[in-house]
Structure 1
Amino acid sequence: MNRFDWDDVRVMHAVAEAGSLSGAARALGVNHATVLRRVSSFEQATGVTVFDRTARGYRVAPRRARLIAAIRAMEAAALGVARALDAARAPLAGTVRVTSTDTLSLTVLAPIV
């Protein structure tokens, strides 16, 4: 199995979305050289060239569309993890309403509540 850095994957996603190193750098809040270094690192670690370099920027090589789809899924999963962590940290709040019959509320619920 090829080893790669998770941060490199995030950069690859940004380049695929932006279509350029400078656009990805702006989206990530890093400089152009960092993005170039991360793209090179990912491609070297995996042995896969992901982008076709053109005068207009970086385009996902057609034969790498499946890889970019998997990277997009990883990004979505990472955002899901972040949301789940935010929810786990949030305190429970709100009103709980319980509806019951008279008998059940007097014999079972009253001692609990």
Structure 2
Amino acid sequence: MQLINITLAVHRMEAMCTFYTQLLGLTFQQQELYGTILYRADWNGMELLFCPAELAGNTATQNRHQLEISVPDIKQAVALALAHGGQSMGPITTNDKGKSAGVKDPDQNSLVLTQPG
């Protein structure tokens, strides 16, 4: 079995597209569907779909999801996140598996960035 799609309900579409484009190097394509515009990107063979929260009926204002993303350079990833609308959730920490840091995306969803080590 393989995860092939993740759909996220998004409030701040432009800010979210910019954040994930800059952090992950994704390229979003617009798609008209259900009378609105959705945004799709290929993320290493998995589709990431941003759907307007209103269409999804999602009224949560934060943490509708939490992603953990492996990155090659934790300091660079945190800097990119902060430069493109993210917020720090604390310092970079180190444990026996590597380094990690929490950040929030522009819609206030928490992400865990990890650098194996």
TM over 0.5: no
User: Highest Rg: 1 or 2?
Assistant: 1
Q: TM-score, length-normalised on structure 2?
A: 0.27
Indicate the structure whose relative CO is greater, using CA pairs within 8 Å and at least 6 residues apart.
2
Structure number having the greater strand percentage:
2
- Structure with higher helix content: 1
